[in-house]
Structure 1
Amino acid sequence: MKIGELAALAGCETETIRFYEKQGLLAAPARTASGYRTYQQRHLEDLQFIRHCRAFDMSLSLVRQLLKFRVDPSQPCGQVNTLIDEQLGHLDTQLTQLHQLKADLQALRELCQDDHQVKDCEILKNLVHPCTSDCVQHR
């Protein structure tokens, strides 16, 4: 199949396929005499695997590691579990950071309750300063 067909079947853009090829995540396809890429069913399966991993916010490095397990399926699954556990920890960290970000943004929003001119907007005044753990500068 050609790259456009692969993209349609996988639900992605052709640029995504080229990117994954350049990153070494997707095996280089055979080429026709005229230089067109020709993909096989394994390319579709690998592309779906990669895209599913990315939907779980896995880094390209982690995807690369998981793909290696698919190439050599005789390895023990414990290493895969460890990688997924690490990803879960990463997501927990992100959630904690997002909760803090939301709290900071809510505190910032509470600084401007009245309808007044922008020159007096406490939100804009506070956005001039870099955020720390106590992001909102109460004036």
Structure 2
Amino acid sequence: MLTIGRIAALTGLTPKAVRLYESGGLIDRPQRTRAGYRIYTEQALPVLHFIRQAQALGLTLKEIKQILDLQRTGTQPCGLVTTLLDDHLAELDRRIADLESLRHALRAARDRAGESHGDLDPEGAAAPICPIIQGLPNSLPDGTSRPRSGASHPARRR
């Protein structure tokens, strides 16, 4: 029998995380002592290790629960795991492509900054703000259009 502190130490988790996994249905509710302390069995250890490993791969608690629920019904969850990992790889590839586009745009802006940009336009009038940024194309690295002056920043995708 393991207390929450002991099981947390053995798995590298915090007691708070163990309670979160319990309340979210990822691990079975433990028995309680008369004083109300949680007492876990050794069977919780591999499940908690699995949760940590799955999180390290970027799986969400909701996804991990789906895997564990499927396994608890006696079904091998590896097909679901493969699908989830493929989805995460596709999202990661999209984010990398967005970051590479952003890097390209930043380097182009920085290269323009290295050129001689005065504070005056050819007619000698003061530049509205900064020609380095204002000289960027009207599309952002993610393919959306730049907002017109006075418009708010586009919402970020998550």
The question of a shared fold, defined as TM-score above 0.5 by the shorter chain, is answered with yes
Q: Is 1:133 the counterpart of 2:140 in the alignment?
A: yes
- Deviation, structure 1 residue 4: 0.8
Aligned equivalent of 2:24: 23
Q: Which moved more, 1:22-31 or 1:51-60?
A: 22-31
Aligned equivalent of 1:68: 69
For the structure 1 residues 4 and 75, does the alpha-carbon distance in structure 2 shift closer, same or farther, using more than 3 Å as the test?
closer
Distance, in Å, in 2 between the alignment partners of 1:23 and 1:76 is: 19
Equivalent pair of 2:5/2:15 in contact (CA under 8 Å): yes
Structure 1: 5+ residue runs without aligned partners? 114-121, 127-131
Distance, in Å, in 2 between the alignment partners of 1:74 and 1:99 is: 40
Structure whose residues are more often helix by fraction: 1
Distance, in Å, in 1 between the alignment partners of 2:77 and 2:65 is: 17
Distance, in Å, in 1 between the alignment partners of 2:21 and 2:105 is: 37
Aligned equivalent of 2:124: none
Distance, in Å, in 1 between the alignment partners of 2:55 and 2:77 is: 23
- Deviation, structure 1 residue 74: 3.4
User: Which amino acid counterpart does residue 100 of structure 2 have in structure 1?
Assistant: H
- Deviation, structure 1 residue 102: 4.2
Distance, in Å, in 2 between the alignment partners of 1:6 and 1:51 is: 13
Q: Give the SS at the match of 2:45.
A: helix
Structure 2: 5+ residue runs without aligned partners? 115-129, 134-138, 147-158
Q: Count matched residues.
A: 125
Question: CA deviation digits over 1:95-128, x for unaligned, max 9?
Answer: 2233344445555666766xxxxxxxx6xx96xx
Q: Is 1:51 the counterpart of 2:52 in the alignment?
A: yes
Which structure would you say has the larger Rg?
2
Q: What is the root-mean-square deviation of aligned Cα atoms in Å?
A: 3.3
For the structure 1 residues 17 and 133, does the alpha-carbon distance in structure 2 shift closer, same or farther, using more than 3 Å as the test?
same
Aligned equivalent of 1:97: 98
Question: CA deviation digits over 1:54-81, x for unaligned, max 9?
Answer: 1011122211111123213434743432
Aligned equivalent of 2:153: none
Q: Which moved more, 1:82-91 or 1:99-108?
A: 99-108
TM-score, with structure 2 as normaliser: 0.61
Q: Give the SS at the match of 1:58.
A: coil
Identity %: 36
